[in-house]
A = this chain, B = another copy of it.
Amino acid sequence: MSASLQMSRRIRRTPYTACVEKSGITGFTVVNHTLLPKAFQHSVIEDYYHLKEYVQIWDVGCQRQVEIKGQDAEFLIQKITPRDISKTKIGQCLYIPLINGEGKIINDPILLKLENDHFWLSIADSDILLWVKGLSTGMGLNVKVEEPDVSPLAIQGPYSEDLMVEIFGNNIKKLKFFNFNYFDFNNTKQLIAKSGYSSQLGFEIYLNNSKLGEKLWDTICSFGKKYNLRPGAPNLIDRIEAGLLSFGNDMTSENSPLECGFEKYCALSSDIDFIGKAKLKSEKNIGPKLKLCGIAFGGEAQSACTIPWPIYFNNLKIGEITSGIYNPSLKVNTGIALVMTENLDKLSTVKVKALNSKITEGVICSLPFTISKNYELINQIRY
């Protein structure tokens, strides 16, 4: 059943929405009160292969920025993440889970350090603007917290660098992964990062002027023709294969960073002071109850999981698949799952019940799916 998304001003458009509509959009979702295109005329499988072979343009303007500027900016950001940010350099991007006082994840943005006292959080789907403003107001900090007019546009796929060089020049090649620099566009200075929500080479243009949105989109499409550029979207098959997590899907504010495999981002033994540290420390002592992992399972090819699919072992429910879809390269259904840690190392095969499907055999995998030890496991359930 496919219901339409009813539009209103509250569901914000991006500077690229008009272009997306002209390009034949067929499906949206909503992130940060903003439209995120999810489907054009092609199937998710066609888009997956296209992404791996050519180059795509994605309207990810929904990745809103929370700008934190001022004397206490770094202090405040270190308060809200368990990850040590003290060594972050200007021009660097850093993935930082944000946690609340209960030690649970409330977002997992990319931190961009613009200056020593000036940062952006490029956020997933929750109003971190309100969290940061609430904290800074409550603590009486000397910072300015705002949502600037910045709307990222992603260029993803193996030809993304060639395409970007044509538009922004050879310095694009000097960008290192998860670093950014500034490039000219239409006599404006625009921040471009080598990053993106795919397994492929890619860039994100943090366009800081909504009025240039259509011009930027059209310019890229025009130069992109010879690379077979298509409008696209974060691709579920590719995202799961690459083990890229989605806040709200794979983890929610019910989950801790330790459950999500983010222990490497939790400076628990340092003297860094962050909100939720005591809770994380005691969770670490007793051990997290859940673990986020990959899962592969057989049976008929599944379309996207929209309601979590239960996982059973010995007839007991031991977890659920939070994101899932058939992967045509691996020739198996793949998913990201939250599974109880108890006896997890003893599990051989498990059972999965996808919606409207028979119970089928599955194996717990590591993420990303492309690491070699998974292939052996997956072979066990191919029949």
Name A's B-contacting residues (CB within 8 A). Answer: 1-11, 13, 21, 25-30, 33, 38-39, 100-101, 106, 125-128, 130-140, 246-249, 275, 304-308, 322-323
Q: Which of chain B's residues have a CB closer than 8 A to the CB of A275? A: 137
* A29-B3 contact, Cβ under 8 Å, with A101-B137, A130-B134: no
Does B7 contact A5, Cβ atoms closer than 8 Å?
A: no
Q: Which of chain B's residues have a CB closer than 8 A to the CB of A133? A: 100-101, 131, 134
> How many Å lie between the Cα of A323 and that of B7 in the bound state?
11
Does B33 contact A11, Cβ atoms closer than 8 Å?
A: no
Residue of B nearest to A140 (CB): B138
* A4-B21 contact, Cβ under 8 Å, with A9-B323, A308-B9, A322-B9: no
Chain B nearest Cβ from A291, distance in angstroms: 18
Q: Which of chain B's residues have a CB closer than 8 A to the CB of A132? A: 134
CB contact between A25 and one of B3, B101, B106 (< 8 Å): that residue: B3
> How many Å lie between the Cα of A6 and that of B29 in the bound state?
5
Q: Which of chain B's residues have a CB closer than 8 A to the CB of A38? A: 6
Does B27 contact A4, Cβ atoms closer than 8 Å?
A: yes
Residue of B nearest to A276 (CB): B137
CB contact between A5 and one of B4, B33, B322 (< 8 Å): that residue: B4
Chain B nearest Cβ from A242, distance in angstroms: 17
16 pairs, CB–CB < 8 Å, chain A vs chain B: A3-B4, A4-B28, A6-B27, A8-B306, A9-B308, A10-B29, A10-B125, A33-B125, A33-B248, A101-B133, A126-B127, A127-B127, A130-B134, A132-B134, A133-B134, A139-B139
